[in-house]
C-alpha cells in the first residue's frame, strides 16, 4: 500500500504542465491566426482594388475590340457593295443633253455658270461618288488604326496602293493624294463619262480599281481575327502581373479562409 500511496500522493503537476503547454500552443496558434487575418484583410482590400481595376481595363479592351470589329465590318461591307455596283454599271449615257450649262448675270453684272446633268449622267456620277466615298472611308479607317497592330498598318498600305495608277485616274477626273485617297473633279469626270464611257468603266469597273479593291477586301477579311491584338499582347506585363495577383492570390486567400473555418471547428 505504501507504494500505491506513494504514487497516489505524487504531485499531478506533470498533467497540468502538459495541459498548459497545449493551451499555450493553441493560444499561440490563435494569436498567429489573428495576425494573419488582420494582414490578410489588408492585403485582400488591396487585391480587391487591383481586381476592380483589372475588370475595368478588360471591359475597356473588350469594348475597343468590339468597336474596331464593327467598324471594320461596316467599312468592308459598304465598300464591297459599291464595288459590285460600279462593276456592273453601264457608263454609256446619251450625249444629247447630258451636260447643260446656263449662264446668269446678277444685278452687278457678274456672270455665273450653272451646270446641270441629265438623269443618266447624274446616276453615273453618283455611282462613282459612292464608290470613292467608301474607298476613302476604308483607307481612313486603316490609317487611323494603323498603330493597333502591324497587320492593320499593312492593310493601310495595301488599300492605299492606288497611287501607282494616279496618272490614269487623273485623266478621268479622279485625283489620288499621297495616302491613296481619291478626290473627284466632277466636271472632268462628267466629261469623261460622256466622251469615253468605256475608258471610265475600264479604269474603275470590272478589271479596274473595283476589281483590285475586291482583292483587298478578301485579303482584309482573311486577316480579321488577327487584326486586333489579344489583351495579353496589347497590355503586356501589366496584365500578367494583375492576373497573378487577382488569380493565384485570391485562391490562396480562399484556402486560408477555409483553414480558419477548420480551426474554429476544432477548438
pLDDT tens for each residue of 164-201: 788 899 999 999 998 889 999 999 999 999 999 999 99
Angle formed by the axes of helices 119-144 and 209-227, nearest 10°? 30
The reported pLDDT for the residue numbered 221 is 96
At 10, phi and psi to the nearest 5? -65, 155
Where on the phi/psi map is residue 114: left (φ > 0), alpha (ψ -120 to 50), or beta? beta
Lowest-confidence segment of 32-41, 136-145, 197-206, 214-223 by average pLDDT: 32-41
The residues facing 107 across adjacent strands are none
Give the pTM.
Answer: 0.69
Amino acid at each position: 500500500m505504501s507504494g500505491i500511496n506513494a504514487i497516489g500522493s505524487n504531485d499531478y503537476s506533470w498533467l497540468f504542465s502538459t495541459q498548459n503547454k497545449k493551451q499555450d500552443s493553441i493560444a499561440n496558434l490563435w494569436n498567429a491566426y489573428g495576425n494573419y487575418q488582420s494582414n490578410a484583410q489588408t492585403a485582400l482590400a488591396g487585391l480587391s482594388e487591383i481586381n476592380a481595376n483589372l475588370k475595368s481595363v478588360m471591359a475597356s479592351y473588350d469594348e475597343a475590340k468590339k468597336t474596331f470589329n464593327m467598324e471594320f465590318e461596316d467599312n468592308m461591307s459598304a465598300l464591297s457593295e459599291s464595288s459590285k455596283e460600279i462593276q456592273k454599271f453601264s457608263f454609256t449615257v446619251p450625249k444629247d443633253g447630258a451636260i447643260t450649262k446656263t449662264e446668269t448675270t446678277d444685278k452687278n453684272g457678274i456672270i455665273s455658270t450653272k451646270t446641270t446633268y441629265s438623269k443618266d449622267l447624274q446616276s453615273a456620277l453618283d455611282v462613282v461618288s459612292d464608290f470613292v466615298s467608301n474607298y476613302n472611308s476604308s483607307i481612313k479607317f486603316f490609317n487611323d488604326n494603323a498603330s493597333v497592330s502591324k497587320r492593320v498598318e499593312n492593310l493601310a498600305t495595301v488599300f492605299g496602293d492606288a497611287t501607282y495608277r494616279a496618272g490614269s485616274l487623273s485623266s478621268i477626273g479622279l485625283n489620288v493624294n499621297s495616302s491613296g485617297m481619291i478626290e473627284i473633279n466632277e466636271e472632268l469626270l462628267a466629261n469623261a463619262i460622256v466622251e469615253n464611257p468605256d475608258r471610265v468603266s475600264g479604269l474603275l469597273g470590272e478589271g479596274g480599281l473595283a476589281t483590285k479593291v475586291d482583292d483587298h477586301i478578301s485579303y482584309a477579311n482573311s486577316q480579321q481575327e488577327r487584326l486586333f491584338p489579344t489583351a495579353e499582347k496589347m497590355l503586356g506585363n501589366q496584365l500578367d502581373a494583375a492576373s497573378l495577383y487577382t488569380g493565384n492570390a485570391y485562391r490562396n486567400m480562399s484556402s486560408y479562409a477555409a483553414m480558419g473555418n477548420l480551426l474554429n471547428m476544432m477548438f
